[in-house]
Structure formats: C-alpha cells, structure tokens
Amino acid sequence: MNKSLSQKAAIMPVIQRILAAVDFSPHSQAIIDHACEIAKRADAELHVVHVESRANPATNPDGSPSGEATRLGLERLDSLVRPADELELATKKQILNGIPHRAIVAYATANGITQIVMGTHGRKGLSYLALGSVAQHVLRDAPCPVQILKTPKRVERPQENAIEEMPLTFGRELADSSAATQLISRALTLRATDIHVDPIDETQTRVRFRIDGKLSEYCRLDREVADPLINQWKMLADIDISDPFTPKEGRFSFPRSLAEFHNTEARITTAPVVDGESVAIRLLSREDVFIPINELGLGENAQRSVDEMLRRNEGIILVTGPTGSGKTTTVYTMLETISTSGVNIVSIEDPVEYSLPFVQQMAVDERRGINMTTGMRTMLRMDPDVMFLGEIRDAEAAKIAMRAASSGQFVFSTLHTRDVASVFTALRDLGLPNRTLTANFAGIVNQRLIRRLCSDCRQAVDVTAEARALFDRHSLIAPDQLYEASGCVNCRDSGYRGRIGVFEAIAFDDNIRAAIADTANEAELRQKLLHNGMTSLDDDALEKVIKGVTDLDEAIRVRWLA
C-alpha cells in the first residue's frame, strides 16, 4: 500500500482490510463479488483466503498444503476476482491450512482485518439459525465484525445480480466476553443512560457515560480497538458499516441469554465528524421507562391535577419541558395507567423510544413519506381511543392534534416550553386561536429532572440566612436543617444517585379556560394559574429540598431560583 493510501486510512475510521473467506463451493463467486464492492466503496485492501483441511490428501505429512495444492488453490482464487476488480483494488490471496474457523480467525488477527465476509449454505430451521458451524465459530471468535451471506444450496452458474437476490444476514450474536457487551454492561452497572464514543485524534477515542444527567469520561480507547467496536454495534443495528460518511440511526436489543440486559434496548446514532465517526447510544431499560405514576416525583397538587386530567378520557394532555427532561417517560407512564383491553392506543413517534406492548406504535420515516403530520392522519383512520403524537413541531401537527381532541379523541403529546404558561404563547405563535386552546385541553404538565441526594452519604447542614430568605420569598417554611451532597463508593463520590422529576401541572376547568381567554400576557396568566392551585416548578423543587430528596444547589440549577 503506498504512502498516500496509508495516510488516508490513518485518518478515516473506515474498513481498511476486507477478508473474503471462500470454500470453492458454487456460491464463492457471489461472496467475492460482494466483498469487492465493499472494498471499493471503502477504498480498502482485499484479502482472499481459502483453508485446506489437514485431512485433505493434497497436503504434506505435517499438514501444510503441498506446493501443488497451494499453486492450484491460488489459481482458483485468482479466477474468482474479476479482472476489473483486480485493476481497481489492492488484493492479497492466501491458501491456509488447518481447522477452517481457527485458520480464518488467526489470519484476521495477524493481518489486522477489519471485516470478514463469508457465506453459509442455504439451510432451514435450527441449522439455518446457527449459520453453519464454520460461520458460527468465526462469528463468535473473530476480532472484527463478520458479515454472513446466506447462500442457496444450489447455484447453477453465477449471476450478475446474485447478491441482490440473496438476503444478507449480519452477525447479530453477542458473546458474554465481547468488547461490545462489556462496555454496555459497565454502563448499565454505573446507571448510565447514554454512551458517547467520540474520536479525539487519529489514534485515540474517548468514551463518556451520562450518569444522572451528567456526562463524564469513562475511558479512552486506541482507534484500533474503538473502530471495530463501533462496527459491531452498527452491525447489531443493521447499519451499513461501509458508509461512515452519512449519519445513521438504528436500534438493537439483547438476547435472552444475557440476563443482565433483560428488558434493555439500545438506540444508536452515528455521525461523521472531523477526526472520524462519533457514536451516541441511548440505553433504554423497562425499569426506567415504566415508572409507577406515584413514583415520578409529582407533588400533592400536581398528582391531584394529573389524576383529574386522566379521568377526562378526552381532550389533549401536553407534557412539556426542555430536551432530556423526562417527558416521554411521563407520557408512557400515563398511557400505561389508562391502558386496558378495551382501549385502542396508537402513536406516531420520532423515534420510538421504547416498544410498548399496549400501544400500536408507528415510527417517523421521512424516506417513506411518514412524518408527524402524515402519521397523525393515518392514526385517525385506525379507530383510536387514545392517540400519542410524539411531539408537536409545527402548525399543521398542532392543528391536527387539536382537531382530533375536538372530535372526542384522547390525545397526548409533548412540546418544548419553559413552563405551563408559556405553552399558550407557543401555540398562539403556531396560529391556534384562543377558542381552540380553551375548548380542547384536558391538562398540561411541565417538568424537569433533578439529581437525588445519595441516601447513604448525604450530610445534614444548618440552614443559612440566605436559604431562609429564599424559602420566605416562596412562602415556604424553612426547615431546621437541610442536606447536601457528600460522596461515597455507592454514588461514585458524586453525592447523588438517581434522578427525580420536578413538576407543575394543571387540569383544566372553567376558571382556567376563562383565564386563558381573558389573558394574553404570559406573566399575568402564570399568576392566575398559581391562584387556581398550581404549584410552580420552583416551589416543587424547594419542597424536595425541604424533604431532603435533593439539595439547594440542584434546586437552583433547575430554574435559577431567586
């Protein structure tokens, strides 16, 4: 490989060496053709190998291929690579000897192979699921991603479109000891919700975990380790690993054999960045998604309002707040609360955060013409009792949601706003008139997430004069003592463990509707909502400080309390 090609490979996290393993069966040509296409797209070096079994009579007494066997084998490998591909690619051909899967894995390890392409005979039932013994063992032991091409039992002659006719089966098995499994396992042990894998330079990649809402560095990996790791995740999510220059999204779940990942799904997003490819993985656990409604953190007034709006069974409920504030979790909890066998619940989401067994979920897919608006129209024709629109993003989506609510549907959705009062400003900006807002709402919930103090190490402190003045301004009685973060082994010296919601919620009644109709000023409307029994975000955060759930620093961080 010349110097310019080496330099190019060093700065790009692409497949650098493709290994095509063939057994000279009739479908070998299709495997080689497919490997050549991958190598050309990735500007990669192609290695083509065949393994001679030790039991083959054309071997020396020590088991190595005889000179004649090697010569004939190399000639057959030469004939499989088409002349046009030979001119365009740098290729290496090798006849190996030994147990096929061990020889392939050993060659891949010794030569820095970054993807293996091989085939499996067309089988059925359990034999097909196992992918064939050689492919199965290579998939388990290989140091890099393995792409398995399911091939038919009989191929009379190679066809130019053979690859298009053959369904591709990617390596989707995770061994307990694989790097992909180990890193995710460690993230789950540390209660991480997100994994970020980002290139630092040409040689190193940084791994960060988001724990309790805070992003912190976990480790650094050599690119030789990180790039195959990323490719393994991408293959699990059926993402094309030969095209690292286009943003991609996918998701994958874990086999039941890996008990520690029970009820866990992963959503992966990849993006090309300056030094390579950046990856973000959102870890979704059923225990984190389906939280009993009384454990979300709702205060007394907010809980009463939510209970009231869920009893309405019609109108629209909006859950609002910034990105990452737990809106989807709250909606899922509400939907689970009202779900019964007699209720048809449908949703359109972008993306589907977690598979809900009690909801017919549709994902936004712009490539196929499915967006929030068209998805909402489709849902209206599915005889729904309850509809969940993942997010109101534009005027058309808002109007369709309101129209569904006005026709007697029970509609749930989310919106990015600062608080409950600002919801009406946002919807007015989208062109919705006051009469629509007052007629169709069942209720609004606004929320944030704050970190819980670690109950094992939190420390009691005296209440300062400044803290007492803050409580007084919010008409709250200051406690005799507060708690603050300390740090121990159970919370990794952070002083916090887990998060809880901070809420303000209001169920609509005639007084609220009148206030909205008569008030255009946001600040004045907020005061009327508080007068009608709504507890503000600020007050709810301070109530949690008084109860020792969190500390004053966290409460102040939520809304910059004054």
Domain boundaries for CATH 3.40.50.300 within the chain: 290-450+499-535
The number of beta carbons lying within 10 Å of the beta carbon of residue 297 is: 24
pLDDT computed for residue 158 by the predictor: 35
Nearest to 108 by CA among 241, 22, 19, 10: 19
Nearest to 198 by CA among 16, 44, 43, 13: 13
The percent of residues in the chain predicted with pLDDT above 70, rounded, is 85
Residue 72 has pLDDT above 90, yes or no: no
Superfamily of domain 290-450+499-535: P-loop containing nucleotide triphosphate hydrolases (3.40.50.300)
Mean pLDDT over each residue of the chain, to the nearest integer: 82
Nearest to 325 by CA among 450, 505, 506, 411: 450
pLDDT computed for residue 558 by the predictor: 74
pLDDT computed for residue 471 by the predictor: 93
Looking at 100-178, which runs of residues are DSSP E strands? 115-120, 146-150, 168-170
Residue 63 has pLDDT above 60, yes or no: no
- What distance in Å separates the CA atoms of residue 80 and residue 548, rounded to the nearest whole number? 71
Question: Which structure tokens are listed for 28?
Answer: 């070998």
pLDDT computed for residue 131 by the predictor: 36
The number of beta carbons lying within 10 Å of the beta carbon of residue 102 is: 15
pLDDT computed for residue 97 by the predictor: 87
Residue 409 contacts residue 384 (beta carbons within 8 Å): yes
DSSP state of 293: G
pLDDT digits 0-9 by tens, 109-167: 999 898 899 886 544 432 333 234 577 678 778 888 888 776 554 433 333 333 232 22
pLDDT computed for residue 477 by the predictor: 92
DSSP state of 361: E
pLDDT-derived band of residue 430, with 50, 70 and 90 as boundaries?
very high
The number of beta carbons lying within 10 Å of the beta carbon of residue 93 is: 18
pLDDT-derived band of residue 256, with 50, 70 and 90 as boundaries?
low
pLDDT computed for residue 144 by the predictor: 84
CA angle 60, 66, 69 (to 5 degrees): 135
- What distance in Å separates the CA atoms of residue 91 and residue 80, rounded to the nearest whole number? 12
Domain boundaries for CATH 3.40.50.620 within the chain: 14-170
- CB burial class (10 A; 0-12, 13-18, 19+) of residue 160? exposed
pLDDT-derived band of residue 15, with 50, 70 and 90 as boundaries?
low
CATH number of 14-170: 3.40.50.620
First to last CA, the chain: 65
pLDDT digits 0-9 by tens, 326-373: 999 999 999 999 998 789 999 998 888 888 889 999 988 877 888 888
pLDDT computed for residue 257 by the predictor: 61
Pairing of strands 360-363, 441-453: unpaired
pLDDT computed for residue 202 by the predictor: 85
The number of beta carbons lying within 10 Å of the beta carbon of residue 191 is: 18
247 by DSSP, 3-state: which?
A: coil
pLDDT computed for residue 258 by the predictor: 64
In sequence order, which residues have a C-beta less than 8 Å from that of residue 31 and are 6 or more positions away?
20, 21, 22, 117, 118, 119, 149, 151
Q: What is the topology classification, in CATH, of domain 179-285?
A: Beta-Lactamase (3.30.450)
Bond prior to 351 in cis (omega within 30° of 0): yes
Domain boundaries for CATH 3.30.450.90 within the chain: 179-285
In sequence order, which residues have a C-beta less than 8 Å from that of residue 74 and are 6 or more positions away?
93, 95
Averaged pLDDT for residues 280-286: 87
- What distance in Å separates the CA atoms of residue 163 and residue 35, rounded to the nearest whole number? 10
- What distance in Å separates the CA atoms of residue 290 and residue 32, rounded to the nearest whole number? 47
pLDDT-derived band of residue 65, with 50, 70 and 90 as boundaries?
low
329 by DSSP, 3-state: which?
A: helix
